[in-house]
Structures are given as C-alpha cells and as structure tokens.
A and B are shown apart, each in its own frame.
Chain A
Amino acid sequence: MRQAVKLRFAAPIAVFALLFGFLAYRLFLVQQGFTPDLIPSVLINKQAPQFALSPLFANEPGFRTTDLKGKVTVVNFFASWCVPCREEHNYLSKIAKVPGIEVVGIAYKDRPQDASMWLAELGDPYKTVAVDPEGKTGIDFGVYGVPESYLIDKRGIIRFKQTGPLTPDVIDQRLIPLANRLNRS
C-alpha cells in the first residue's frame, strides 16, 4: 500500500522521462538533417501510385496517373483548413512560372467549396486542381500531413518529396534545379 502511494507520485516523472526521450530523439533527427519538412519517402525513385481524381472545377478534365507522362510535374497536396499551406501558397506561383514544370494541386480531405473559396482568395497557381476528399490518394502517396509536395519526372517516377511547406530555399536550391535536370534528360 505504501509502495503504491509512492509510485503514484513518481508516475509524472516517468511519463516526463519518456516524453523527454522522445523529444530528444526527434531533435536529434532534426539535427541530422531529418526535419519534418524533409521526411524521406519510401516512394522516392519509384513509380507514382495509381490514381484517378475528379476535378475541383467542373469544366476541367480531372487528374489521373497517365497525366504524369511526358512532363515534369509538381503535385502539391493542400487543404483550406491547413494553416501552413497559406504560408507556402505564394511560392507555388513562382514554380508555376518556370517553363517545363506543371504544378498540380490536390485538395486533400477538403470540401470542394472550401477549396475553391481558398483558391479564389489566395490565387490559383495550379495547372489543374483535383480533389481527394477521403484522402485515399494521399494515403497511397504517403502524405504525412498537408502541405506536401512531390516532384515527378516524365516517366511518372517520384524524384523528390517535401513534407510541410515549400520554402524559397527548397524551391530555389533543390526543387527547380532538380526539375530542370529532369527536363533535360
């Protein structure tokens, strides 16, 4: 009985020790360059998963796996409820301006009217916008959380993944140079 009482008081420190260990481990990963923005995907250098998504805007064609062939595509998962997506949004138009890159948006677990409202507010940088209301295609891609972006080459192979918002550094130093290289090959 006495022992049980004492254990009760020691429980918080035990829980905290676990939490601390976990946070330290995550921080260690961040220091190793494994930031939440750069979670490596098992799909890197593999064929993009099969999908066929309906369009957000009624007059557009939709988006399916075969659309990836023959061009370098940036697939950007976003959602109107996602706050970091706002931060990223301005930079997408910059990528869209680079010749030879198509930026496709996928509204992830989002109501279509919310997504279109959001694009109307912040501007629509996408060539095509598709919807993934259940997040099924997102799961196939291994979406960890929105925003998330994939660079896919002309043969439909995923070459680069960004978890979290794309930042100017990532765009200028990694995404665009890699896309240009893929375009030349």
Chain B
Amino acid sequence: MIAEIGLFALILALFVAAVQSSVPLIGAARGDSAWMSVDRPAALALFGLVGLSFGALMWLHVTSDFSVLNVVENSAVSKPMLYKVAGVWGNHEGSMMLWTFILVLYGLAVSLFGRALPPGLRARALAVQGMIAFAFILFILLTSNPFTRVNPAPPDGNGLNPVLQDPGLSFHPPFLYLGYVGFSMAFSFAIAALIEGRVDAAWARWVRPWTLVAWCALTLGVAMGMWWSYYTLGWGGYWAWDPVENASLMPWLAGTALLHSAIVAEKRDTLKSWTIFLAIITFSLSLLGTFLVRSGILTSVHSFANDPRRGLFILILLATFTGGSLTLYAVRAPALKGGTIFSPISREGGLLINNILLSTAAGTVLLGTLYPLFADALGLGKVSVGPPYYNLVIAPLAIALFLVMAIGSLMSWKRGNLKGALRKLRAAAAAAAVTFILTLVIAGLSARSLWASLGLGLAVWLLAGTLVEWAGRVGLFQRPLAETLRKALRVPRSAYGMTISHLGLAIVLIGIIGSTAWRTEYLDVMRPGDTASIAGYEVKFIRVDDGVQGPNYVATRGLFTVAKDDRLVAELHPERRTFTAPEQTLSNVAIHSSVGGDIYAVLSDPSEGGYIVRIYHNPVVPWLFLGAILMVLGGGVSLTDRRHRIGAPLRGLGVSLRPRPVATPGAAVPAE
C-alpha cells in the first residue's frame, strides 16, 4: 500500500510540475498576475507530493518491506538502522529520488523566502525549476521506478555493499546533492533573467547567497567523500582522479568561479553575461556528471548500475537544459546591457583572473575525464589519463590562483593599487620564502621536495596574505588595541567569511602537499609481538581477537600499540570484517590522528603464521579535512551577513524592491 501511495504521489507530482513549468511562464509573458501567482502554491504542492513519495520510499526501507524490489536489492533485515535510512539513496533509483526531493526543497525555499522577489522573475525562475523537476520525475517514472513490487516477496534482501555501510558515506550524498541541485537555483534565475532580458543587482543579490549555500554543501559533500575514501577504502589516499570524483570537482570549480563572479555582478553591476554563463555551465556540469556516472560510457568504481536507456534519457535531458539554455544565451545575452569597463588592476580584475583560472581548471578536468573517449574515437591511439596528467596541468593553474588570491583580496574596487598591495604583502612573501627554504633544507633537495616546498610556500603566502588583509582592515598594530577590537567587530560578516574560507583553502593545501610528499609506508607480515618502526613511531602488534561480533558482520580484530620515545601514544584496532549480507570481507582501517599526521593501520590477509599488515604515516592529513571544514564555515559566516540573509533585503511591507545603493561610476565604493 505504502509503495502505491509513493508511486501515486510521484505521478501526481509530475502533473503539478507540468503546471508549475507552464502556467507561471505564460503568465509572465502575458503580464497576467493571476497566472503568475500559480508559481508559489505549485512549488509548495510539488514539495508536498515529492516529499510524500520520498517519505514512502524511506518507510519501505526502514520497515524492510521485501515486497519492493528496490528494498530487496539494497537492504537486509540485519542491516543497522542508520544504513536502512541511508540505504534509500545508496542505489540508483533512490538517489534520483533524493535528487528530486532536494530540487523541490529548493523550489519550496524560493516559494517561502522569495515572496518579495519581482513576481515576473520569480514566476519564470520557478517555472524553470518546475521543468527540471518534471524531467527528473519523468526519468524516475520511466526508467528507474523505485516502487516496483516483487512477487513472491523473498524472506530477506541482498543487503547493501559493505563499503557503503559507513556513517561518513551515509551523509555524503545528501550534501553532494544539496550542492549539485543547489546550483539549479542560480541556473533557474539565470534563465529567468535571460528571458526577461535584464540582469540587475537585485538578481545578483538573490543568486549570490543561494550559490553560497550550494557551494558550502558541495564543499562539505566532496570533503566527506574524500574522508570516506580515505578511511574506508584502506589505500591510504583520498583522491584518485576517478571520473566520478571529477564529476563532483568540475561543478565545484565552476561553482567557486560563479560565487566570485556573482560578487562582481552585485557590487559593480558588471560581468553580468559572464555570471549568467557560469550559472548555466555550473548546473550543466552537475548534469553532465550525472550522465557520465550512470550511462556506462565511462568505467569507474563509483558507477551505479549502468543502463544505456537511462543514459539516453539523461543525455536528452542534458541536451534540453544545457542546449536550450545556451541557445537562449546565444540569442539573448548580446542584448543584455553590458557593465562598465573596468581596470585589470582592481578587485574585480582580480576576481576575473580567479574566474578565468577556475574555469580553465574545470575545463581541464573535463578534458581529462573525456579524453580517453575522444582519443579513441579520433583514432589517436590508446590513452589512459591518470594522476600524472592532472598533477601536471592543475599545478600551474593552482599556483597562479594562489598567487592572485592574496593580491586580489587586498585590491580595492574599481582602481586597485598593485604596488601598494605588493608592499603590504612583503611580510607574506618573506614568510613564504622562509617556508620554501626551510622545507628544502629539512627535506633535502629532490624534485619531490622542490615541488612540496613550493606548495608549502604558496600555502603560507596565502595564509599570511589573508591575515595581512584582515589586519589591515582592522588596523592591527597601527592603531590602539581598543580601536582595533571595535573595528574587528564592525567588519562585515561576509568579509570574515572570505578570510576564514581563504585560510581554510591554505590549510587544505598544506594538508594535500604534506600528505602526498612525505607519506611513509610500511608493509610486512607481522606476528603478535612484532614491532614496526615508521616515521619515528614504534607500532607493536599485540594480538588478534577472532570472532568479534558486529551487527551484521564477524570481525578479526587486531590490537596494536603505537609508541613514540617509549611513551604509549595510542591503541589501534584495525579489523577484517566478514559481512553476512552480501557476503564480503572488508578491512576496517584504524587511524590515530594528531596535528602532525595520521598513523593508519590496515590488517590484511593471514599469511605465514601472521598477518599482512600495512601501516602508513600520513603527515598533516587532518589539516586537509580541517581546512575543508573552515572553508564551509567561512561560507556559513558569510551567509549570516545581514545583507546576505536570504530574502532579507527583499522582504518588507512593500511589493517592490527596496531601493538599494548601487555603485555609481565616480562614487567612492568602500573596499570590501
């Protein structure tokens, strides 16, 4: 019964989406406010119906209703409750349901917070959201129905792949999708603006916080994915340039560019058609990622059950949305009023360079992901694109980006003072140089340490540069402390957001560089009583306990002690778990984290009376994840800025927008 309710609600939702994508659009074209005002109730109803359907699917999973094929294939009675919930989106059908649910959630947000938006803009944007929802619901109904019954119902299901039974991964897809789908907001508003033929600062003011929300969620989602890959796959790394990882990186890069160009669009009323273009590209890359992962044209570890029929549908979808929007862009963008021309030596100039570098990086990753296919089709021979390609092409872009970041944030709007900025950065440059030389001296001269020193130098450059910018803003060491404190309190939250996020990125870079350049590995057969020395630690294998009972697995648990200078640092319990459904053996990594790095132990197969044991020392890996959290935190702080609060500047008693100060040429614009 529940399954039928879910399916029925989804079918109804399809019709509501059809209404939402047509009626408000026609209304806006005709200037008919009654038709336009269908948008908000429609979005509300769509949310209710998709929510009901999604809730039904979750109910089926939680109660282990094995008369439903999706539950049989992905669940088992013995599966812990957390994974019964998370298992909903651990498969193709359920993940598409989650995708759609998050989409309508954003639609609901427009409906709730967008009351004071210009009705035409809102009606058109919600209509575009409705079209996306329509397409995805149709996709689910035609190719990926999660409510299919199975008769007779089996007594138990096949269970969820044990690799996916992990708390980190349970919340990875929701955040990732909140990010991907969140960019649909910028996309829908970009299309609405193109139809209207007008992009004003109010547009950018609305799009910016939503892009920030999506960006924060995507950053967190990607970081969680890396974290999961790091501590469950047991290979000691966190990023492998796999097509699916790239699929999440491309929208992240484009979204980061969008985030920054939206600032220029809002503050300086320029770069508008570029911002529109980026909004289209960012969401298109999210769709492209969906296509690549599910169509079967690429092989990847993360691939969902591939089905060319689904691939065709998503390709048509991609053609409709990306092709349609780019055509609209080609037709309407030339008519958009161009912004003011600005000097390259200015904050907007710096942000433009940031945009060029980030979009080039996104393009590079796209090329690398598709290159084996292109090369094969063009008969250029057999190519495999691996980490060497990405390291080679991303490195120069990243170096340039980090260099510009510190300088750009010190520039004022309109006309920056490059010399002045560089003068302020002397301390940062000195710190970077000292880091570079010190690292080289300590690590010894080699190609690897040269790169690593360069990377660390860059990280310190950005770290110090960001602090210099903040210090200059609050007048640290130049004015009395009391005044500095008072100023520090008055600095806008969005500026703090930038400071925190940029610091976070610098810390992420330190984590990446440190963990790739100075990772040490130990691998041998160990018997209880043996000791391994790695990176100054003594790791002693004490014993193994067999038959440790887990909720749905039996484990062999090793006990290791980690000591440094004869002092006990930690106990590690790596396990080999044999799961019951599906039957599979998996290593469960044990990690001891500290600021300096991780001791990472994996217990492998028994061999020669002992066990094959791998121990890694991964220096500064926690910095990577800490930095990522800081980046998200920075985004969050920026969101709490009074002027960014979603809808806040638009709300009020009046129907129209409150007049806002727009930077007029010649007027002094405060540096921000």
Interface residues on A, range: 35 or more
Chain A residues whose CB sits within 8 angstroms of the CB of B315 once the complex forms: 20, 23-24, 27
- Would you call A129 an interface residue if the criterion is a C-beta within 8 Å of the partner chain's C-beta atoms? no
Contact B297 A9 (CB under 8 A): no
Q: Which residues of A contact B605 (CB under 8 A)?
A: 123
Stretch binding the partner chain, chosen from A11-19, A67-75, A95-103, A169-177: A11-19
The A/B interface has a contact count, at CB < 8 Å, of 113
Given B299, B323, B382, which contacts A13 in the complex, CB threshold below 8 Å? B323
In the bound assembly, the distance between CA atoms of A117 and B383 in angstroms comes to: 25
A145 with B384: in contact, given A12-B326, A12-B330, A31-B308 (CB under 8 Å)? yes
Q: Is B374 an interface residue (CB 8 A)?
A: yes
A149-167 contacts to B, CB under 8 A, are: 164-165
**Minimal beta-carbon separation of B411 from chain A (angstroms):** 27
CB of B334 within 8 A of CB of A5, answer: yes
Contacts of A10 in B (CB 8 A): 330
Q: How many residues of B contact A (CB 8 A)?
A: 48
B273 touches A9 (CB 8 A): yes
A17: chain B residues within 8 A (beta carbon):
323
Q: Is the CB of B234 within 8 A of A26?
A: no
Q: Which residues of A contact B548 (CB under 8 A)?
A: none
User: Is there contact, CB below 8 Å, between A9 and B334?
Assistant: yes
Contacts of A87 on B, CB cut-off 8 Å?
A: 301
> Once the chains bind, are A83 and B308 in contact (CB under 8 Å)?
no
Give the residues in chain A near B334, CB-CB below 8 Å. Answer: 5-6, 9
Q: Does B372 count as interface, using CB distance less than 8 angstroms?
A: yes
| Chain A at the B interface: SS class | helix
Smallest CB separation, B603 vs chain A (Å)? 10
Across the interface, A84 reaches (CB within 8 A) one of B300, B311, B322, B387, namely B300
| Cβ-defined partner of B323 (8 Å) among A16, A25, A165 | A16
The smallest beta-carbon distance between A13 and chain B, in angstroms, is 4
The residue in A6, A13, A39, A87 that gathers the most chain B C-beta atoms within 10 A of its C-beta is A13
Cβ of A81 < 8 Å from any Cβ of B? yes
Do A120 and B312 touch across chains, with their CB atoms under 8 A apart? no
Q: Is B263 an interface residue, CB under 8 A from the partner?
A: no
Task: Find out whether the CB atom of A27 lies under 8 angstroms from the CB atom of B297.
Answer: yes
A110 to B272: give the CA distance in the assembly, Å.
Answer: 47
Q: Inside 8 A of B373's CB, which chain A residues have their CB? A: 22, 26, 36
CB pair A83–B300 under 8 Å, yes or no, is: yes
Chain B hits for A142, CB < 8 A: 382
* A165 partner residues in chain B, CB cutoff 8 A: 299
Say how far B163's CB is from chain A's closest CB, in angstroms.
Answer: 10
Query: CB-nearest residue of chain B relative to A82?
Result: B386
Complex CA gap A37/B297 in Å reads 9
Tell yes or no: A144 within 8 A of B by CB.
yes
B299 A121 Cβ-Cβ under 8 A: no
Contact B301 A86 (CB under 8 A): yes
User: Is A117 in contact with B327, judged by CB distance below 8 angstroms?
Assistant: no
CA gap between A120 and B329 in the complex, in Å: 54
* Chain B 308-338 near chain A by CB (<8 Å), digits 1 or 0: 1001100100110011001101100110000
**Structural contact, A143 and B382, CB atoms closer than 8 A:** yes
B298 at the interface (CB under 8 A from A): yes
Closest residue to B613 on the A side, CB-wise?
A120
- A164-B387 in contact (CB<8A): no
Question: Given the complex, which residues of B lie within 8 Å of A20, measured CB to CB?
Answer: 315, 318-319, 322-323
Interface pair B299/A9, CB less than 8 Å apart: no
A-facing residues in B254-297 (Cβ within 8 Å): 273, 277, 281, 284, 291, 295-297
Q: How far does the alpha carbon of A123 sit from the alpha carbon of B604 in the complex, in Å? A: 8
Closest chain B residue to A90, Cβ basis: B584
Q: Mark A112-152, 1 if CB is under 8 A from B, else 0.
A: 00000100111100000000000000010011111000000
- 6 new A-B contacts, CB < 8 A, other than A6-B330, A84-B300, A121-B234, are A39-B376, A82-B386, A83-B300, A117-B523, A121-B523, A122-B604
4 tightest A-B contacts by CB? A145-B384, A13-B326, A10-B330, A164-B299
State the B residues within 8 Å of A (CB): 233-235, 240, 242, 273, 277, 281, 284, 291, 295-301, 308, 311-312, 315, 318-319, 322-323, 326-327, 329-330, 333-334, 372-374, 376-377, 382-384, 386-387, 521, 523, 602, 604-605, 612, 614
